Amino acid sequence: MESYVIARVIHVIAVILWIGGVAMVTTVIIPSVKRMSSKKDQIKTFEQIEGRFSLQAKVTTLITGLSGFYMIYVLDSWERYLQLKFWYIHAMTLVWIIFTLVLYVLEPLLLHKLFKSYAEKHPEKTFSIMHRAHWILLVLSLITTAGAVAGSHGLFIMNN
C-alpha cells in the first residue's frame, strides 16, 4: 500500500503543476499577450512562453496518467468506471485524454501550424478563440478536481 500512497502524492503534484500551468496561461499569459500592441510581439511572446510550458505540460500529463492508472491497477478498482457515483474518475480520464491528444497529437501535427498562419492574418480573433478554449478546459479541469477531491474523501453527489 506504500506504493499507492507514493503514486497518489506524485499524481497530486503532477496535477497541481499541470492544471496550475493551465490556469496561469488562461488567466495571466493570454490576457497579457492580447494587450500587446504589435501582432508580431504577440505571436513571438506567446510561442516562447507556450514552448516552455508545453514541455512541462507533456511531462506532467504523462506522470498524471501513469500514476492515475497505476492507482486504479493497485486497488483493482476498474469497476468504478461502471458506477455513476465515481463520475469524477470518468471526468479525470476524459480531461487527461483531451489534454494528451492536444499536447501529443493535435498541437504538433496541426494546431501549431494553424495558430501561426491564422495568427498572422487575424491575431485578435486567434487569441480570443484560444483564450475561450483555455477557459473551457480550465473550468472542466477545476470541476473535475473538485469532484475528485470530494469523492476521494467520501462525498458523493450520486449514490448508485
Residue 68 falls inside a structural domain: yes
Collapsed DSSP state (helix, strand, coil) of residue 153: coil
Residue closest to 7 by CA, chosen among 59, 74, 57, 52: 74
Q: Residues in the chain with pLDDT < 70?
A: 158-160
pLDDT at 112: 80
Full-prediction pTM beyond 0.85? yes
pLDDT at 119: 79
Domain count, the chain: 1
- Beta-carbon neighbour count of residue 30 at 10 Å? 23
Collapsed DSSP state (helix, strand, coil) of residue 39: helix
Host domain of residue 139: 2-152
The residue type of 49 is I
Residue 110 falls inside a structural domain: yes
Residue 126 falls inside a structural domain: yes
| Distance from C-alpha of 141 to C-alpha of 48, rounded to nearest angstrom | 24
Ramachandran region of residue 76, left (φ > 0), alpha (ψ -120 to 50) or beta?
left
Ramachandran region of residue 20, left (φ > 0), alpha (ψ -120 to 50) or beta?
alpha
Residue 160 falls inside a structural domain: no
The DSSP output letter for 111 is I
pLDDT at 65: 97
| Distance from C-alpha of 122 to C-alpha of 46, rounded to nearest angstrom | 15
Residue 157 falls inside a structural domain: no
Residue 74 falls inside a structural domain: yes
Residue 159 falls inside a structural domain: no
Residue 44 falls inside a structural domain: yes
pLDDT at 96: 97
